[in-house]
Amino acid sequence: MMEKKKILEEGLLELYLTGELSEELTTAVEDALKQDESLKEHFDVLEADFERMGMEQAITPPLIVKERIKNVIRQPEIKKTSWLPLSIAAGFALVFGLSTFWLYVKWQDAESDLNTLQLQTSQLQQQVDELESEFRLTANRLENINNPDVVPLVLYGNQKAPNGKAIAFINHKSQLVFVNPKGLPVLPKDKTYQMWSDVNGEMINMGVVPTDKELVTLKYIENAESLNLTVEPAGGSEHPTVEELISNVII
């Protein structure tokens, strides 16, 4: 038996209604209608729609046809042939209705495909914009790091983080500070790294240092004598937790 999916996708029910199928396909469709109740219900609905559209699209015959019908009523002997013009008109109306319905379905499918394509294009453009933004940011940071005025400083972990390492890049001329934290151990969610500058014995906050970024921009502190890295509660602290100091380096 021919599959229901094939019949629906290839529009065989519509072609069956209009008598445009070959004898072999006609037999196959009729067998499928007999054996598949859901397909038969779909066909009945389609047939009813076609009949309704045929009536809606029916063309009003010209007045001459009306006069001929009156003559036929007066001449019963040729009554059978007098309905031919109306049959032809109704046939054309049905074919027109079927064609209109078929084109409408195709138009709806094309519109749906167009909307999907537009959405995909919009999402792709957004991704491209995000990549361009990230590229510009990375290129800018690399340019700042490779600047001859930049001083790189390595912060090695102490006994609290023996395998930890972070690299700071300081440009005193442009007053920029970047830190690469990728060598630091990952902390629990309720903890964070925080950098401090030592200025005449006073620890000044430079900002928190998340480990999920390649480069972190920190606040530049003038006259800093050293950089100091501590572990603080998530969000950072106003004052450094001295016992949680894991690294420091002299500037």
d(CA 140, CA 149): 15
Pair 89, 188 in one domain: no
Q: Work out the number of other CB atoms within 10 angstroms of the CB of residue 2.
A: 17
- Residue 87 or 249, more confident: 249
Pair 104, 161 in one domain: no
Pair 97, 156 in one domain: no
Q: Please name every residue paired with 179 in a beta bridge, in sequence order, or none if there are none.
A: 168, 216
Pair 105, 42 in one domain: yes
Pair 212, 168 in one domain: yes
The structure's pTM equals 0.47
Domain that holds residue 213: 150-250
Q: How confident is the model at residue 74 (pLDDT cuts 50, 70, 90)?
A: low
- Residue-wise pLDDT for 124-179, tens only, equals 888 888 888 777 777 777 777 778 899 999 999 999 999 999 999 999 999 999 99
Q: How confident is the model at residue 77 (pLDDT cuts 50, 70, 90)?
A: very low
Pair 91, 37 in one domain: yes
In the chain, the amino acid numbered 122 is: S
pLDDT confidence of residue 79 = 45
Pair 180, 239 in one domain: yes
Pair 91, 190 in one domain: no
Pair 178, 101 in one domain: no
Please check whether residue 126 lies inside any domain of the structure. no
Q: How many domains in the chain?
A: 2
Please check whether residue 139 lies inside any domain of the structure. no
d(CA 230, CA 158): 11
Range from 20-34, 78-92, 182-196 that averages highest in pLDDT: 182-196
pLDDT for 67 beyond 70: no
